A and B are shown apart, each in its own frame.
Chain A
């Protein structure tokens, strides 16, 4: 019996110990984090776009974090003008930090590529704009109709990629996703960092 107690209580102790250190402690330490004044609270459309970003798995190819210039070239390569800090993410639930850079980091994509139409076409068919791209197209985010009706916004697609007949209409979803992408701008100066917000070496 004693052995079983050692096993169950010891096993519990180790994992709860880790839970306290890596989850509960930081949770309480970061709870009073304030949003930087320049960081806009996402609106209705942007939140819908964010949801589409999640449900279509952009996170499996794109990160949203800028690492410290001390040991990476993230800033040198134009991913941002400073490393990202916890306060940049206060409105993010769930987080979208990501672990793969099969595609470029998107933390500041709104600053880098502010053109709505570029994004719309890029989402429909990346190779229409970037021939070497291995990003999949997302044609299902658009509507395909025989002819445009009143009020429809038609996507202008270059020849080889346009469907052989009919037109491609920009849907509410596509617009929301692009609005979300363009809202990704974190080029304001880092909020006053106290000990908590210092970024790791």
Chain B
């Protein structure tokens, strides 16, 4: 460890406090380059998975409108395409992109070159192979049968564990070699996520649970995969991007620590709110509902902190697509959490449980929060690592408008459709048919939005290809939103 920190204050003063010395832009550039290989590899693989997952998501969506679409082959049946969509998006797109984000953030935050970068490269590759094997087996009909844990526990899961552990080792080695005293809040989030993920993933995949216990473990895992993996790394990224782009330190550093530990404490206990009304001992479900309500503490802490950092400067979003996406993602985090807390209340859950309301919630979380945050991260990170600018303002704008608009339509449609479906599932006089027909038009609207979002993904993938693989460089000196009329804030009066 390069900066031995002891509990003796006198000794501490003798060591240089690097936190107080500012890095030069050149130094920052060197840190970015130190992780070039794994960061670029991860983003490349992530975008490929994103496109695959998009096709699978579209197909799942169309199958609701046309149930006889592609039913002849077993591997194209809805019950295999849908879990494949989930696994490809969560473990392929989001997680792989999150590896890259972590490997890019850690050197910058620790002010030291990335350690064990090659191990991280191998880790990402092992993870990808594991996932590929798992998806192929899933489509062939071999899965573990637990939602979020479908990947085969013999052939796929060990590779995933090894891959994530390798990337985690690189992250932690970099942390151990840090040249700063203080740990910026993003470090807390990113570094903690790796051991968390490994523990929950191993616990979730143990083969010896049965009966309701298997359900408890299932949702213990699935909820923590959301809360202690997908959420945390993206919050870490947002905590970095917002102040950095706006040019203003985070509103309250203390509040951010309250947010972190509150999340760690309460989120882990939330899992059983997926089984409200289910056949579990009632104290388990009550514990999770209580913990869900307690989540208001970290959620509001994070929300206030991020909002106060940006407030008054929303105009900056016109200049930076990364900031635009990070701000939307941050707001969506607050929104999805509040929606989730609402959903965890028995009085709401009796209506919305088992309906498409949950799917709207999933995509508000995993798309408007996680995916947009990762897009924002890529807009910021890729030019710095590649030392090239995004070639086209138009494509950036088209991408953001397509995915943002499309997803809002998706969530609103399924939110309404889900409540209607839930009300008719609950209404004593109505047969099951009513719940199907009340959701149908909204499912069709979702398929429309699916097409719009997919177009956005194609635009993004094409643009990333132009950036990475062609020498076409941007000649523009204007920020991409410069010509777009400000949406959120009036134009600055000079």
Contacts and interface: CB of A to CB of B under 8 A. Distances in A.
B476 interface: no
B426 interface: yes
Contacts of A113: none
A85 B277 CA distance: 10
A15 B201 CA distance: 12
Interface stretch (B190-198, B234-242, B374-382, B486-494): B190-198
A142 B72 CA distance: 10
Contacts of B275: 97
B279 A83 contact: yes
Contacts of A126: 67
Interface string A5-29: 0011011101111110111001101
B215 A95 contact: yes
Interface in B274-300: 274-282, 284-288
Interface string A80-110: 0001111011111111111111101000000
Contact of B195 (A11, A56, A88): A11
B220 interface: yes
Contact of A15 (B196, B209, B210): B196
A164 interface: no
B144 interface: yes
B7 A2 contact: yes
A90 B210 contact: yes
A21 B268 CA distance: 10
A101 B147 CA distance: 15
A61 B67 CA distance: 13
Contact of B145 (A94, A137, A199, A201): A94
Contact of B437 (A11, A60, A76, A132): A132
Nearest to B270: A18
Contacts of A72: 277, 350, 426
- How many chain A residues sit at the interface, stated as a range, is 35 or more
Most chain A CB within a 10 A radius of its CB, from B79, B144, B427, B440: B79
Given A11-B192, A19-B203, A99-B274, A59 B281 contact: no
A150 interface: no
Contacts of B196: 11, 15
Most chain B CB within a 10 A radius of its CB, from A55, A57, A135, A196: A57
A100 B192 CA distance: 32
A166 interface: no
A15 B358 contact: no
A16 B358 CA distance: 28
Interface stretch (B25-33, B101-109, B123-131, B428-436): B428-436
A100 B282 CA distance: 21
B64 interface: yes
Q: Is the interface of B mostly helix, strand, loop or mixed?
A: helix
B272 A22 contact: yes
Nearest to B5: A1
A190 to B, nearest CB: 10
Contacts, number: 237
- How many chain B residues sit at the interface, stated as a range, is 35 or more
B102 to A, nearest CB: 15
B349 to A, nearest CB: 9
A56 B141 contact: yes
B426 A73 contact: yes
A101 B250 CA distance: 43
A99 B71 contact: no
Given A15-B268, A133-B67, A140-B72, A30 B213 contact: yes
Interface string B248-288: 00000000000001001100110110111111111011111
Contacts of B5: 1-3
Contacts of A148: none
A67 B279 CA distance: 8
A127 B67 contact: yes
Contacts of A73: 426-428
Contacts of B427: 73
A197 to B, nearest CB: 8
B216 interface: yes
Contacts of B146: 94-95
Given A14-B268, A90-B210, A101 B145 contact: no
Contacts of B4: 1
A19 B83 CA distance: 25
Given A7-B192, A23-B203, A101-B354, A201 B67 contact: no
A71 B277 contact: yes
A185 interface: no
A85 B281 CA distance: 9
B354 A200 contact: no
Contacts of A135: 67
Most chain A CB within a 10 A radius of its CB, from B67, B147, B213: B213
B436 A89 contact: no
A82 to B, nearest CB: 11
B320 interface: no
B337 interface: no
A132 B77 CA distance: 19
Interface string B209-243: 11111111110100010001000000000000000
A200 B144 contact: no
Contacts of B398: none
Given A26-B281, A97-B278, A58 B214 contact: no
A85 B435 CA distance: 26
Nearest to A1: B5
Given A11-B264, A136-B77, A201-B346, A27 B209 contact: yes
B211 A95 contact: yes
A135 B268 CA distance: 35
Contacts of B203: 19, 23
Contact of A86 (B145, B191, B211, B218): B211
28 contacts: A2-B5, A3-B5, A3-B183, A10-B264, A15-B196, A15-B200, A15-B228, A22-B284, A23-B220, A26-B284, A54-B145, A59-B147, A60-B79, A71-B347, A72-B350, A90-B210, A91-B210, A92-B210, A93-B211, A94-B146, A101-B355, A102-B64, A104-B432, A134-B67, A136-B63, A136-B79, A137-B71, A140-B71
Closest 4 CB pairs between A and B? Answer: A57-B79, A18-B268, A200-B282, A67-B277
Given A11-B195, A102-B64, A140-B71, 4 more contacts: A56-B141, A60-B147, A71-B350, A92-B210
